[in-house]
Structure 1
Amino acid sequence: MYAILDIETTGGKYNEEGITEIAIYRFDGHKIVDQFCSLVNPERSIQPFVVNLTGINNDMLRNAPKFYEVAKRIIEITDGCTIVAHNAKFDNRILTTEFDRLGYDFSMNTLCTVELSKKLIPDLPSYSLGKLVRTLGIPLSDRHRAQGDAKATVALFKLLLTKDTSKEIIQSLTGKDPKRQLEPKLIDIIKDAPTSTGVYYMHRKDGKIIYIGKSKNIKKRLTQHFTNDNRKSKRIQLDVTSVTYEVTGNDLIAQLKESEEIKQSKPIYNRALRKTLFNYQLSSFVDENGYINLSIEKADGRKKAIITFTNYQQAKSSLFRITEEFQLCQKLTGLYDTETNCFLHTIKECKGACIQEEAPEIYNQRVQKLIEKYSYLHKHMLIIDKGREIDEHSVILIENGQYKGYGFYNLNHQINNVEILKTIINPMQNNRDAQHIIQGYLRKNKVLKIVNLDANTVN
């Protein structure tokens, strides 16, 4: 399955571009089975030369969805696909960068129709999309607009598939049957792996752990490790001799275990996660006029964080979304540096806290709702979810607003009796990484139930 796409951007410096339009066609090798096209508000200005090229201007994008609003649809339509694009390296980099800003790892195999065309149809004067499709008699409308260019790329790719009669080029670019490429030791490791959710540990010959990971399907994730051809994966493939694993039953405990155990064991191939994963935080303070202000700061364990973020760009994008969601003032959230009113007040979307038109008591109520949303539901609580087996549940203990650890139980009296509860809990470190993982998971996912230990009630 292929996801054939085209992206228009704002232009500008490398890795600072934003998406202005995206079109994706899901193609099964014969016909289009799904499609998605949308303008995108890049939350930055478009370079004048791009406006002249595409016809897309800032006014057209003012009410368009932002990237985070279309991200889920992009993930859905590209699921299980190889990305195909004309100059795929550029389009894939743009998408990867946007998802990185959201803290999501978007990693896909790619095929480039420029490179394929050069190999399958050599000696043409130009391989730009416009000139190439004209040479091949492929219709192209709305040049330099995502939908028109993506539709032309579909037709081009379909032609290239028919020209590749030996299938050698396509196979070399998409990867041959992984099972035939794998060494026997790697095939044996995959064969013995479970399809369950949990944490896995890669060992070298002397037993030392060289990599720790987590997955909702351990077998599938190991297959990806052992068939990937990037430098890190190739080194792992050479060094690994065995893999052990621990089933957790649900993804939340898997994330928490992975985060803590990487910091403890410091495997050589987990360099990125040895330190804290969340380097920025959203904090609050009350100004001289009584308004609660928000600010993005470097993560500091001594200060209380409302939310933590992987990087500054992710923090800023989230703060724009939060400001809009809770109808906050851009001046008081630090997004608009001004001595007078903020931009949102100019367009009548801010109620005037920036110039003290709105009473601080009223404005602060909305800020408190934000803080409550991103805080633990209760200071003392149990998070109950699926266990490793059908008749088992998992439990995470939060005490005094701090993560204490996790455990598994079969009988209800094990969580109703505090002394028994503490014996089944595996103690874990409370840090901002754990807090971010738990709070983020609870916002995005449903658990079986939450027990408020103070009120002894179930939500």
Structure 2
Amino acid sequence: MYAILDIETTGGQYNEEGITEIAIYKYDGHEVVDQFISLVNPEKPIQPFVVKLTGINNAMLRSAPKFYEVAKRIIEITEGCIIVAHNAQFDYRVLRTEFNRLGYNYERQSLCTVELSQKLLPEQKSHSLGKLVRALGIPMSDRHRATGDAMATVHLFKLLLSKDTTKEIVKSLIKTDQKKGIPPKLFDILEGIPAVTGLYYIYKENGDLIYIGKSRNIKKRLHQHFTATSGKSKRIQRDTYAVKYEETGSELIALLKECQEIKVNKPVYNRAQKKTVFPWSVYVEKNSDGYLCLSLQKTDGRKKEVVSFSSVTDGKNALHRIVEQYNLCKKINGLESPSKPSCFGLELNTCNGACVGNEPAEEYNKRVQEFVDNNSFYNQSMIIIDRGRTVDERSAVLIEKGEYKGYAFYNLNYQITKPDILKNILIPMDNNRDAKNIIKSYIRKKKALKIVRL
């Protein structure tokens, strides 16, 4: 028995996605014998690019059931079934993550129709669902919606089953969850690590530092390293002899120290982070009509960026949010085709008409400058107050004339409001582009953060 499913999500960081729609068709090898289809309230906002892709928006989900309300039905309809999906690794992982949040260990065998089609239809140029079903003449409606994609997967799976006459290929691709145990050596190391915010340092037996990481829960993060099955994780598990940690309390300080110490120590398993952490940035440029434009470009050290991002997707999503927040024009900021006479927002009355010259550049540019002033600290001085390592302690990060100077911890009995006082206890740190972008990103995400402007 098979449970053929498709899941739509909010998008976002790995393992932080929320389910917005799920469709499951129970298939006995001949016909669909049961089905479950539902929108799901993910209790978190949907990324703008996902709204554009699926048509599912936040308003549609306000009255939808939350995941815990549909969890029992999902368990029942998939009981005794092999989970089948196109890119099953993604759908099954998201489903398991949602159940883990409820404290339930959801385990099923899984089968991926991407892998199955690669084995049985090697002549196909593409094995994406959309191109595959078009090439095979499989009817498809509601692309990028759970119902349409799941039903297309049903038809595809039926065809693939008919091609695998002996069912040997299908059987060979069925994956079963392996129980993830921790070797005694690593279990003993983990026992001595607290569940606190800070940095951790992993060493080989000869004393070589092989990995530096940060986490809001060091113990949990190390547990993930010690149980993951990726090639990198297995090498870390093999080489780990000792782990040291440093509690920071503040996630911002942990991020800044991690960035600097990776650059200095160059641990072998942090290779990917030796390059710039934020390769994409938003820059401000004035167009020929005098309007200030925000553009997402590859980070250029010769120019002054406003905000930076770790991926192009994060940058595009943020640019959509910035345009909406400051009531800017999508066409002027490169989010809509320049060949169109006006932006779509003008038709919806969400754009004041800068794209067709109806709004004076001076008025429009004031809002762009407001965004720049709120998100760039070139030549600004400030103290960022954050959590400390104990309840009666706070941390402080000093920015002076746009340069990151370092951090300090202080007791709540003292008030740190002037740079001169802070400098007496400051731990100096390197001022570089990555550090400044980490700080700007943190300020942008933590709306309740206390900032003392100097």
2:57 counterpart of 1:64:
yes
In 2, Cα distance between the equivalents of 1:253 and 1:40? 29
| Aligned residues of 1:7 and 1:91 also touching (Cα < 8 A) | no
2:354 matched residue in structure 1 = 353
Indicate how the Cα distance of structure 1 residues 95 and 178 shifts in structure 2: closer, same or farther if over 3 A, else same. closer
For residues 102-181 of structure 1, the aligned pairs below 5 Å read: 111-114=108-111, 146=146, 173-176=176-179, 178-179=181-182
- Long gaps (5+) in structure 2: 10-17, 25-35, 95-104, 113-141, 154-174
2:215 matched residue in structure 1 = 215
Indicate how the Cα distance of structure 1 residues 21 and 196 shifts in structure 2: closer, same or farther if over 3 A, else same. closer
| Aligned residues of 2:85 and 2:150 also touching (Cα < 8 A) | no
Identity of aligned residues (%): 44
3-state SS of paired residue (1:174): coil
1:265 matched residue in structure 2 = 265
In 2, Cα distance between the equivalents of 1:417 and 1:367? 30
Deviations 1:293-319 (A, max 9, x none): 111221012211111122223322322
Indicate how the Cα distance of structure 1 residues 5 and 271 shifts in structure 2: closer, same or farther if over 3 A, else same. farther
Indicate how the Cα distance of structure 1 residues 295 and 222 shifts in structure 2: closer, same or farther if over 3 A, else same. same
2:21 counterpart of 1:22:
yes
Deviations 1:388-439 (A, max 9, x none): 1232221100111221111112265573564442132112222332222222
In 1, Cα distance between the equivalents of 2:55 and 2:250? 40
1:386 matched residue in structure 2 = 387
Indicate how the Cα distance of structure 1 residues 424 and 366 shifts in structure 2: closer, same or farther if over 3 A, else same. same
Moved more, 378-387 or 265-274: 378-387
3-state SS of paired residue (2:57): coil
In 1, Cα distance between the equivalents of 2:279 and 2:107? 31
2:324 matched residue in structure 1 = 324
Indicate how the Cα distance of structure 1 residues 197 and 398 shifts in structure 2: closer, same or farther if over 3 A, else same. same
Deviation of 1:352 after TM superposition, in Å, equals: 1.5
1:194 matched residue in structure 2 = 194
In 2, Cα distance between the equivalents of 1:308 and 1:287? 21
2:230 matched residue in structure 1 = 230
Deviation of 1:24 after TM superposition, in Å, equals: 8.4
1:138 matched residue in structure 2 = none
2:206 matched residue in structure 1 = 206
How many positions carry a matched residue from both structures? 357
In 1, Cα distance between the equivalents of 2:106 and 2:398? 40
In 2, Cα distance between the equivalents of 1:429 and 1:317? 30
In 2, Cα distance between the equivalents of 1:40 and 1:415? 39
| Aligned residues of 1:211 and 1:269 also touching (Cα < 8 A) | yes
3-state SS of paired residue (2:305): coil
3-state SS of paired residue (1:86): strand
Deviation of 1:66 after TM superposition, in Å, equals: 10
| Aligned residues of 1:247 and 1:388 also touching (Cα < 8 A) | yes
The residue type equivalent to 1:23 in the other structure is I
1:451 matched residue in structure 2 = 452
In 1, Cα distance between the equivalents of 2:321 and 2:92? 19
2:170 matched residue in structure 1 = none
In 2, Cα distance between the equivalents of 1:444 and 1:147? 34
Deviation of 1:235 after TM superposition, in Å, equals: 0.6
| Aligned residues of 1:5 and 1:24 also touching (Cα < 8 A) | yes
Q: CA RMSD in A?
A: 4.6
The residue type equivalent to 1:427 in the other structure is P
In 1, Cα distance between the equivalents of 2:309 and 2:107? 29
Deviation of 1:114 after TM superposition, in Å, equals: 3.7
The residue type equivalent to 2:87 in the other structure is F
In 2, Cα distance between the equivalents of 1:85 and 1:381? 56
| Aligned residues of 1:86 and 1:114 also touching (Cα < 8 A) | yes
Indicate how the Cα distance of structure 1 residues 228 and 95 shifts in structure 2: closer, same or farther if over 3 A, else same. closer
2:429 counterpart of 1:432:
no
| Aligned residues of 1:394 and 1:409 also touching (Cα < 8 A) | yes
1:165 matched residue in structure 2 = none
Deviations 1:77-122 (A, max 9, x none): 99xxx9999335615448999xxxxxxxxxx99855448xxxxxxx
The residue type equivalent to 1:239 in the other structure is D
Deviation of 1:323 after TM superposition, in Å, equals: 2.0
The residue type equivalent to 1:293 in the other structure is C
2:366 counterpart of 1:373:
no
Deviations 1:315-363 (A, max 9, x none): 2232223223322112210223237323433454322111211111211
For residues 29-48 of structure 1, the aligned pairs below 5 Å read: 36=40, 43=49
| Aligned residues of 1:414 and 1:420 also touching (Cα < 8 A) | no
In 2, Cα distance between the equivalents of 1:215 and 1:268? 19
Superposition TM-score, scaled by structure 1 size: 0.65
| Aligned residues of 2:51 and 2:57 also touching (Cα < 8 A) | no
Deviation of 1:178 after TM superposition, in Å, equals: 2.4
Deviations 1:157-178 (A, max 9, x none): xxxxxxxxxxxxxxx9434262
3-state SS of paired residue (2:304): coil
In 2, Cα distance between the equivalents of 1:143 and 1:330? 25
Indicate how the Cα distance of structure 1 residues 177 and 313 shifts in structure 2: closer, same or farther if over 3 A, else same. closer
In 1, Cα distance between the equivalents of 2:270 and 2:59? 32
1:239 matched residue in structure 2 = 239
Indicate how the Cα distance of structure 1 residues 88 and 211 shifts in structure 2: closer, same or farther if over 3 A, else same. farther
2:294 matched residue in structure 1 = 294
The residue type equivalent to 2:22 in the other structure is A
In 2, Cα distance between the equivalents of 1:321 and 1:337? 20
1:87 matched residue in structure 2 = 84
In 2, Cα distance between the equivalents of 1:294 and 1:148? 37
2:411 matched residue in structure 1 = 410
In 1, Cα distance between the equivalents of 2:229 and 2:193? 21
Deviations 1:27-81 (A, max 9, x none): xxxxx9x9826897975999xxxxxxxxxxx8xx6573499x9xxx99xx99xxx
In 1, Cα distance between the equivalents of 2:221 and 2:227? 10
| Aligned residues of 1:266 and 1:274 also touching (Cα < 8 A) | yes
The residue type equivalent to 1:385 in the other structure is D
In 1, Cα distance between the equivalents of 2:273 and 2:331? 34
In 2, Cα distance between the equivalents of 1:298 and 1:360? 27
| Aligned residues of 2:20 and 2:40 also touching (Cα < 8 A) | no
Superposition TM-score, scaled by structure 2 size: 0.66
3-state SS of paired residue (2:246): strand
The residue type equivalent to 2:83 in the other structure is H
Indicate how the Cα distance of structure 1 residues 391 and 413 shifts in structure 2: closer, same or farther if over 3 A, else same. closer
In 1, Cα distance between the equivalents of 2:314 and 2:380? 27
- Long gaps (5+) in structure 1: 10-18, 26-31, 47-57, 98-107, 116-141, 154-171, 455-459
In 2, Cα distance between the equivalents of 1:325 and 1:418? 33
